[in-house]
Amino acid sequence: MPHWTPEEEKLLRELYPTADSAELERIFGRKLSAIIYKANSLNLKRERYWKEEEIEILKEMYPSSDTEEVARRLKRSVFSIRNKAARLGLTKSNRSAPKRWSGEEIELLRQLYPTKATKELVAVFGRSAGAIRAKAWDLKLKKKRGQEKGDPRGEPSFG
């Protein structure tokens, strides 16, 4: 790929902070990785402003939804979600307070955790993957070798 011209560098300085990635690729006719590399060498930073629609979704979802779920929906990091929510003065409602684990759930987790994929456990317990891992950690539970690494061995299905 040819070197960047002074005109391209000037345009990159102007567009990089706010332009869409696909738009940058189209304008410069280069791969996004090359554009990012050049932007980094020029110490340019991206600014991903919050659209009004995103803020409305955040206001609606944040108080009663799992923060990871909000992050997935808005295609932003959990850090970004928490940071923006704090700036807007949003807090979690009582409905989203962590649900206590019942004795039956704990016993079932002890039985299933070693051999079931976390995504399966999410469906069984109706809890986030993070909540399941945290409880397993508290209970000192371990996955059988090969679990959670995409290894199908020893991963029986529900039935």
- Tens of pLDDT, residue by residue, the chain (159 residues): 689 999 999 999 988 877 777 888 999 999 999 999 999 999 998 877 788 999 999 999 988 888 888 988 888 777 778 888 988 999 887 655 567 889 999 999 999 999 999 889 988 888 888 889 889 998 999 988 766 544 444 444 444
> Rounded to two decimals, what is the model's pTM?
0.37
The SS3 assignment for 112 reads helix
Question: What per-residue confidence (pLDDT) applies to 98?
Answer: 66
Question: What per-residue confidence (pLDDT) applies to 97?
Answer: 56
Q: Under 8 Å CB-to-CB from 76, ≥6 apart: which residues?
A: 48
Residue 132: exposure state from Cβ atoms within 10 A (0-12, 13-18, ≥19) = buried
Break the chain into its structural domains and give their ranges. Answer: 6-41, 52-96, 103-138
User: Residue 131 is inside which H or E element, if any?
Assistant: helix 129-138
Question: What per-residue confidence (pLDDT) applies to 153?
Answer: 43
Question: What per-residue confidence (pLDDT) applies to 1?
Answer: 67
Question: What per-residue confidence (pLDDT) applies to 155?
Answer: 43
